[in-house]
Each structure stands twice: as C-alpha cells, then as structure tokens.
C-alpha cells in the first residue's frame, strides 16, 4: 500500500505541483489516481446491487422470464468473480490502465449501474473524487492505524463498519500547498 500511495503522490506532484486550482484537463492526466479510484469502486462499489424489471417476456438460457419480473443484479459479486477478474480480492489499479481497459466489459464492471439507467451522477462523482483525492494527496500524508480489523457494513450502500482510523499529517515536501 505504501508503494501505491507513493506512486499517487508522485503523479500528483509531477502533474499538479503547487497548483491551487485543478483544471478539467488535469483530471485525465492523473491516470494512476483514476485507475486507483476505479479499482476502489470495483472492490467496494457504492451500492450492493441494482434491480431491473422486465418489460416483456425473455428467455435466458433455459429460463423463461415473464414480463414484470424483478431481476436483482449484485454489483459486488460481479466485481469479485474470478472468471472475470484475475486475483479479484487483490487491489490492482493497473487493471484499469489504458492497455487493459478493453478487457473489461460494461456488464462486468458497473459500480454506477449500466445501460439506459446508469447513475446520472457517474461522471460528476468521478470528477469530484479525482479532484478531492488529488487535493488531499497534494496537501496531506495518510497512514492507516495498524492492526485494524476493517469489516464491511452491507446495507443499501457498502461502507466500513465503524469507519477506518488513520493518521493525517500535513506534507512537508516542496509540493505541499501553502
């Protein structure tokens, strides 16, 4: 995890330096930070699943699905299936690198759902998360408190039960903002 933090910090320092305002064009250049956010959403999607209602009868393999049937799709399970993800329990941001992006189907990775009912805030939240994380890495150093047992609380959304404790220190490097 330390290497991951260092790589993000290095990318932020090299691309943003001491810029106080992150421009829209800067966001796409923060490639590794973007990959890390996507991998975070794969491992810990904001919602456990989604529901769709059939508008007409459908045949799926040997199953006949009637009109009006509620189909439940688990985003979490889809994001952890070994037939779709190499080492699914490992945190590997490079899965989302430019050279790997064509290997990921929209119907395997869908933290904001997919199709005509995709979350309206998908793009906004990606931009917002990237800017927020870039600013945090510009300004602070983070260290998880050791020996924490982080457990998932699975309700409508996924989040760590009881939170996650970490220490935060202001960065003293030359790139830290004033």
Instruction: Please state the residue numbers annotated as binding site.
Output: 119
DSSP code at position 18: T
C-beta separation of 134 from 23 below 8 A: no
Looking up tokens 């930070």 gives: 33
Binding residues for heme: 119
Extract the tokens encoding 12.
């932020």
Buried b (16+ CB within 10 A) or exposed e, 12-48: bbebbeeeeebeeebbeebebbbbbbbbebbbbbebb
Within the chain, strands assigned E span: 49-53, 58-60, 63-65, 70-74, 140-144, 152-154, 158-160, 166-170
Of 153, 175, 156, nearest to 164 (Cα)? 153
């Amino acid at each position: 995890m330390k290497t991951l933090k260092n790589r993000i910090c290095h990318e932020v320092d090299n691309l943003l330096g001491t810029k106080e305002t992150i421009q829209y064009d800067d966001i796409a250049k923060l490639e590794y930070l973007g990959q890390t956010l996507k991998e975070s959403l794969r491992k810990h999607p904001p919602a456990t699943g989604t529901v769709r209602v059939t508008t007409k009868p459908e045949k799926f393999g040997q199953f006949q699905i009637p009109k009006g049937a509620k189909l439940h799709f688990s985003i979490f399970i889809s994001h952890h299936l070994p037939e779709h993800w190499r080492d699914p329990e490992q945190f590997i941001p490079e899965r989302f690198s430019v050279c790997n992006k064509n290997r990921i189907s929209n119907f395997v990775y869908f933290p904001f759902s997919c199709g005509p009912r995709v979350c309206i805030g998908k793009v906004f939240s990606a931009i917002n998360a990237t800017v927020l994380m870039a600013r945090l890495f510009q300004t602070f150093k983070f260290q998880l408190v050791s020996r924490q047992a982080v457990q998932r609380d699975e309700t409508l959304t996924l989040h760590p039960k009881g939170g996650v404790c970490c220490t935060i220190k202001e960065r003293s490097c030359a790139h830290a903002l004033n």
